[in-house]
Amino acid sequence: MHAKPETLAMVLAGGRVDELNALTCFRPKSALPFGGFARIIDFPLSNLMHSGLEQVGILSQYRSYSLINHIGIGAPWDMIGRYRRISILPPFQGSTESRWYRGTADAIYQNLDFIRLHDPRDILILSGDHVYKMDYREIIDYHRAKKADVTMAFLAVSPEQSARRFGVADIDTEDNDVGGKVVQYEEKPEKPKGQWASLTIYCFKPKILYDALSANATEENSHEFGKDIIPRLLSDNRRVYGYKFRGYWGYTRTIEEFWQTNMDLLGDSPKIQLNEWGLRTNLEHRRIRDCFPVKTGSGAAIKNSLVYNGCTVEGTVENSILFPRVHVGKGTTVRNSILFFNNRLADNCRFNKVISDVNNIFGRGCSVGDRRSAKNTKISVIGWNNNIPANTSMEPGCVLYPEIPAEDIPEHVTAEMVLR
C-alpha cells in the first residue's frame, strides 16, 4: 500500500515557443512528438515515475488538447491510485480573480489551493519540455540535507552556450561534486559570469514558495521564477542551493536544437538511450500499439535510422527518424530528417534535413532541402496537414505552416519563403 507522498511535483507544460514556428501552431512544446514514438513531456513524467514521485500536477494553457489527450488518466506512467495521480491544471474562471497564466511563477501561484490541499513537505517544480534522465530523489535528498529554502538543478556550460539563453549561477565549493550555495544568479545575461545553467528544476520549502509567490503577485509586473522569484530569494538572504547535474540534457527551444536532440538518438553510441532510460509513453495515443511491423520493399535501404512500426519503406532512409505510418515510396531518398506520424512520400522524392509534421502528403518527384553535399544545411520545416503537389522543389531552410491550400504552394519554394 502506498503511503501519502511527501513531495508534490508541478510540471510547467503549457507554453508555446515561437522559435519552433510551424511545429507549435496547434500544440504546446511539451506535446511535440520526439524520437519516433514519444512526446517531449514523456521524459519528465518517466523521471517522476522512476523516482517514485507519483502525485503530479501539470499546468497547461496553450492549445492543450493534444497534451491532455496524450496524458489521459496517467496510466502509462502508473500514476493511478489513492496517492498516485496526474491532475491537469489549466487556467480557470471562478468567483475569485482568475486569468491566463502570466508566467511560470504566476501559473504556480494560481494553483496554490491545489498545492495546499496536498500539504507536501517539498514542492518540486519542473519544466515539461526538456530531454534528460534524472532521479529527482537525489536533488530532494540534497535539498533536505542542506536545509535549503530552494534547491535548483544546474548543468555546466560554456559562456558561449549560455549567453542570453539560460539563467546562469555561480555556485560555491561547499559540496564541490554535488552542489553548493548559489552566490550569484543572472537570468539570460549577455556576458555570463557563472558556468552553471539552470535546468528549470526547483525544489522548494512550501512556506518559502507561498510567501515569494504572494509577494511577486502583488508587487511585480513580471512573474517568472528565473527572472523574479530566485533573485528575490537571494536578495532576502534565503538558503538557495544548486544541485549539479552531470548527465545528458537536451534543450529543444529552437528548430536546430530540436533536430539535434533527435539526432542524438542515432549512431553506434547514441547520447540518448531510451531503453536504458526506461522512457514511457501513451501507446494508445495515435494508436501506436495497433501498428503493423515495418514493411520494406525489394529496393529499400535503411541505414543508421529509427523506423517504427506502421512504416512502409520502398526507398532509401539514412540518418533519419520515422514515426509510425510513414510511407517512403520507390526511388525516394530521406536523409538527416524527422518525419512525424502519417507522412506519405510518393516515388522519386528527395528529402534532406527536413522536419515534417503529421499528416503530410508529398507528390511524386518532390524535393525538400535536397543539397546533399552542402555542410550545415538549414533545416526545412513542414507544418501539419499539407498536400504538396508533385514536382514541387523546396530549398533548404524554407518553412511551410500548417494547412496551406495546395494551389497556394508555388512550384519552387525558396529558402526565404515562409508560407502561412
Express as a percent the part of the chain with pLDDT over 90.
71
Give 165 or 236, the one with higher predicted confidence. 236
Give the separation between CA 397 and CA 394, rounded to whole angstroms: 9
Are the CB atoms for 53 and 45 separated by under 8 Å? no
Give the separation between CA 293 and CA 19, rounded to whole angstroms: 35
Has residue 17 got a pLDDT over 70? Answer: no
Q: What is the secondary structure of 306-332 as a DSSP string?
A: EE-TT-EESSEEES-EE-TT-EE-TT-
Give the separation between CA 99 and CA 103, rounded to whole angstroms: 11
Query: What are the boundaries of each domain within the chain?
Result: 7-263, 291-419
Give the separation between CA 141 and CA 231, rounded to whole angstroms: 23
> For the residues 352-370, what does the mean pLDDT come to?
96
The helix/strand/coil state of 76 is helix
Environment class of 59 (CB within 10 Å of its CB; exposed 0-12, middle 13-18, buried 19+): buried
Give the separation between CA 57 and CA 8, rounded to whole angstroms: 8
Overall pTM surpassing 0.85 (yes/no): yes
Those residues with Cβ within 8 angstroms of residue 413's Cβ, 6 or more apart along the chain or in another chain: 392, 393, 394, 395, 398, 400, 419
> For the residues 146-171, what does the mean pLDDT come to?
89
Those residues with Cβ within 8 angstroms of residue 165's Cβ, 6 or more apart along the chain or in another chain: 188, 197, 253
Give the separation between CA 177 and CA 179, rounded to whole angstroms: 6
C-alpha cell belonging to residue 279 = 522512457
Are the CB atoms for 38 and 129 separated by under 8 Å? no
Those residues with Cβ within 8 angstroms of residue 91's Cβ, 6 or more apart along the chain or in another chain: 61, 98, 99, 100, 101, 110
> For the residues 356-363, what does the mean pLDDT come to?
97
Has residue 164 got a pLDDT over 80? Answer: no
Give the separation between CA 322 and CA 328, rounded to whole angstroms: 10
pLDDT at residue 410, as a whole number: 93
- pLDDT tens, residue by residue, 217-272: 888 788 999 999 999 999 999 999 999 999 999 988 899 999 999 999 999 999 99
Are the CB atoms for 132 and 16 separated by under 8 Å? no
Has residue 95 got a pLDDT over 80? Answer: no
Has residue 372 got a pLDDT over 50? Answer: yes
Closest CA to 310 of 280, 269, 339, 335: 339
C-alpha cell belonging to residue 44 = 519528465
> For the residues 267-292, what does the mean pLDDT come to?
91
Environment class of 299 (CB within 10 Å of its CB; exposed 0-12, middle 13-18, buried 19+): exposed
Give 20 or 401, the one with higher predicted confidence. 401
Helix (H) or strand (E) holding 171: strand 167-171
- pLDDT tens, residue by residue, 39-87: 999 999 999 999 999 999 999 877 778 888 899 889 999 999 888 999 9
Mean pLDDT across the chain? 91
- pLDDT tens, residue by residue, 171-217: 998 888 899 999 999 998 888 888 899 999 999 999 999 999 999 98
Domain 291-419 has CATH 2.160.10.10: yes
> For the residues 104-120, what does the mean pLDDT come to?
93
Has residue 373 got a pLDDT over 70? Answer: no
Name the CATH superfamily, with its identifier, for domain 7-263: Spore Coat Polysaccharide Biosynthesis Protein SpsA; Chain A (3.90.550.10)
Give the separation between CA 382 and CA 84, rounded to whole angstroms: 39
The helix/strand/coil state of 161 is helix
Residue 216: CB atoms within 10 A of its CB come to 21
Give the separation between CA 310 and CA 323, rounded to whole angstroms: 8
Has residue 389 got a pLDDT over 90? Answer: yes
